[in-house]
Amino acid sequence: MTDTTDTVTAPGSLVGPGARRFRSPLRNAPKSVRTGVRYAAVVPFLAYIAIFLLVPLVWIVKDSFLNPTTNTFTWSNIDIAVHGSYLHGFEQSLLLSLIASVIPGIFGLLVSYAIFTAGGRGAAWLRQVVLTASGVFANFGGVPLAFLFIASFGSSALVTGWLSAIGLNIYNLGFSLYTLSGVALVYMYFQIPLMVLMILPALEGLRPAWREAAQNLGASAWSYWRHVGGPVLLPSFLSCLMLLFGSALAAYATAEALTTGTIPLTSIQIGTFLNGNVIAGQQNVGDALALGMVVIIAVLMIAYVLFQRRSAKWLR
Amino acid sequence: MAAIATKPVTAPAARPRRRGSFPVWRWVIMLIAAVYFLLPLYAALRFAGLHAFGSVFTQAGFGSSLWLSVKLAAVTWAITMLLMVPTTVYVHLRLPGLRRLLETITILPIVIPPVVLIVGVLQVMPLALRSSVWLLAIEYVVLTMPFAYRALDAGLRSIDVKTLTEASGSLGAGWFTTLWRVLLPNMRTALLSSTILIVALVLGEFTMASLDLQQTFPVWIVLFDQENAQISVSASIFALVVTWLFLMLITVVATRQSRRSGGGEVTLFSAAPRETIGN
């Protein structure tokens, strides 16, 4: 809708020949100095991230290899963290994250596509409602969220009652709000909005011209998606899935509130260590569990970056 | 410029699919979403009831915990703005090659578990900082980054930063003047919506605050919850709905203003769809 000359901001648009740049006091300095100064402006931001995000993570890696009493190198923390109940915790966490990322991923994509392609009078309004709601709901969690679902899907709650009134007792079908299936259902409450927010820029990158070109060449809707839209969108979709997976893995407050810590998830087990419920000599096992999380996240982020790079070929 | 743009602005132009192509499909999706998101809200409100809502304000600890959270939100907001606005604007203008890197870095807090981060932070930070409540604000800056950055980035993409800065530069303005008097006023919507997202996140963050043993508002709600669940839940739902309404108000007002001056729709995280790209 920006067909006025002053708001067109096509990426990579070149500056007109007459445009003036800022007169930098360093314009006569050697090129290397100027390059250094150019990058210096992002140093505060990078330093902040390094100090308050990366250094704590590195510290965890270090501590997970230390014996808490003698401060010497040991494998025992890692050894404990990958066996028994902690191994089970990782398995459950990964399974939960898989369920709570693939389903919201697909559904979020559909919602996003639905609001993006909606036309007509209410379309702008619909987009506003969905996007602002997504911004708010993506940050919703913890006790309030748990309560929402206890009030609706608890064993004798509103929706459960309705469903059993029509002969569908979900608790007899193996569903329980306080197990993995229930937690996954609750997680979708913030995962779907997150997906909507993250995938929308990719949808905006699908150019109408491609669709028109495909239609002019006689393509059906299916073959457009099979050969053009799908392949272009797939890397973005997968990169968003990586983030959703990580977000589900990272969630703590909601599962804690819902199950009061009885569900074996790694994030909850780490929380137990922080709350001080620790066997003597195992103080650093919490760090080893956190290290396990960091390793999984590192793999996710590498996949994310690779998918992003792939999607950058076509989008934006 | 507004005169040229009057006609096409109202038409939602060439989207990939026009109205009527998939009406049933779209309705089904939106209906499922509406049921999934609104039904639990309705059930919770019905269960908790709004009648006891007023008494939440008089409970012990309500005022002090809310005040602490508000202070944290203010400090988080100030640091985020000081850090992110100049960086985002600068990268847009001078180092567009770094945009992808910035996007990747700012997405990190979504996948890094707050529970892991706080483990490390409580071990690595100097004691003075660890024992201070402001440690939370400092870490909240990290947590809000994915949302704050995306809102700011969308704001920058929807205006022509390059032309604006060049125009202001050719009129003799320096960096600071350009930022303060040209760019920031044009990014009002983005600034406002990122502010609300920051406040919403800080007022709702439980994990870090509880593990850092600070009694912020969400932590207090949980403690209080054990005594009277209904009141605290209706309070948090109330907070959720109020935040949502605020964000709606901002985008609606901003869109109205933008339309008046010939621009497009203003949304929270994405620049207005630009059909001209690539055509």
A174 and A291 together in one domain: yes
Position B47 pLDDT exceeds 80: no
Phi, psi of A24 (to 5 degrees): -80, 140
Which of the residue ranges A26-30, A113-117, A225-229 would you say has the lowest mean pLDDT?
A26-30
What pLDDT, on a 0 to 100 scale, did the predictor assign at position A106? Answer: 95
| Span A155-199, pLDDT tens digits | 778 888 888 888 888 888 778 888 888 899 999 999 999 899 888
Task: Look at residue A97 and tell me if it is in a domain.
Answer: yes
| Span B155-212, pLDDT tens digits | 888 788 888 888 988 898 888 888 888 888 888 778 877 887 888 888 888 888 988 8
The yes or no reply on domain B60-260 and CATH 1.10.10.10 is no
Task: Look at residue A124 and tell me if it is in a domain.
Answer: yes
Show residues of chain A in contact with B233, CB under 8 Å.
143-144, 147-148
Question: How far is A172 from chain B, CA to nearest CA, in Å?
Answer: 21
Which residue is closest to B270 within chain A, CA to CA? Answer: A201
Q: Do B240 and A197 touch (CB under 8 A)?
A: no
Q: How far apart are CA A12 and CA B137, in angstroms?
A: 37
Task: Look at residue A233 and tell me if it is in a domain.
Answer: yes
Most confident of B75-89, B220-234, B244-258: B75-89
Per-domain residue ranges for chain B?
60-260
Q: How far apart are CA B81 and CA B275, in angstroms?
A: 31
Position B12 pLDDT exceeds 50: no
Using CA atoms, how far residue B267 sits from A306, B56, B164, B248, B273, in Å, is: 28, 34, 21, 9, 9
Q: How far apart are CA B182 and CA A157, in angstroms?
A: 54
Asked whether the beta carbons of B147 and B197 are under 8 A apart, the reply is yes
Using CA atoms, how far residue B207 sits from A116, A129, A146, B42, B162, in Å, is: 34, 28, 14, 26, 41
Contact status of B101 with chain A (Cβ, < 8 Å): no
Position B5 pLDDT exceeds 60: no
Q: Do B116 and A243 touch (CB under 8 A)?
A: no
In which band, very low, low, confident or very high, does the pLDDT at A24 lie, cut at 50, 70 and 90? low
Asked whether the beta carbons of B179 and B86 are under 8 A apart, the reply is yes
What pLDDT, on a 0 to 100 scale, did the predictor assign at position B176? Answer: 84
In which band, very low, low, confident or very high, does the pLDDT at A110 lie, cut at 50, 70 and 90? very high
Number of domains in chain A: 2
A40 and A103 together in one domain: no
Whole domain around residue A118: which residue ranges?
78-311
Q: Look-up: residue for tokens 């923390």?
A: A77
Q: How far apart are CA A202 and CA A240, in angstroms?
A: 10
A200 and A59 together in one domain: no
Burial of residue A34, with CB atoms counted within 10 A of its CB: 0-12 exposed, 13-18 middle, 19 or more buried:
middle
What pLDDT, on a 0 to 100 scale, did the predictor assign at position A278? Answer: 64
| Span A251-274, pLDDT tens digits | 888 888 888 778 889 888 888 887
A37 and A171 together in one domain: no
A172 and A245 together in one domain: yes
A50 and A97 together in one domain: no
Show residues of chain B in contact with A135, CB under 8 Å.
147, 193, 196-197, 200, 247, 268-269
At residue A169, the 3 state secondary structure works out as: coil
A135 and A242 together in one domain: yes
Task: Look at residue A68 and tell me if it is in a domain.
Answer: no
Q: How far apart are CA B216 and CA B218, in angstroms?
A: 6
A196 and A224 together in one domain: yes
A106 and A40 together in one domain: no
Q: Do B5 and A3 touch (CB under 8 A)?
A: yes
Question: DSSP labels for B92-129?
Answer: HHT-GGGHHHHHHHHHHHHHS-HHHHHHHHHHHS-HHH
DSSP secondary structure code for residue A73 in this structure:
B
Residue of A38, A136, A150, A189 to mutate when probing chain B, most B C-beta within 10 A: A136
Asked whether the beta carbons of B191 and B182 are under 8 A apart, the reply is no
For position A218, which CATH number holds? 1.10.3720.10
A100 and A196 together in one domain: yes
Q: Do A212 and B14 touch (CB under 8 A)?
A: yes
pTM of this prediction?
Answer: 0.81
In which band, very low, low, confident or very high, does the pLDDT at B257 lie, cut at 50, 70 and 90? confident
At residue A66, the 3 state secondary structure works out as: strand
Please provide the average confidence, as pLDDT, over all residues in chain A. Answer: 82
- CA-closest candidate to residue A242, choices A141, A134, A135, A97: A97
Q: Which of A57, A119, A142 sits opposite B218 (nearest CB)?
A: A142
Show residues of chain A in contact with B160, CB under 8 Å.
6-9
Position B142 pLDDT exceeds 90: yes
A186 and A251 together in one domain: yes
DSSP secondary structure code for residue A284 in this structure:
T
A57 and A118 together in one domain: no
- For B44, other C-beta atoms within 10 Å of its C-beta total 25
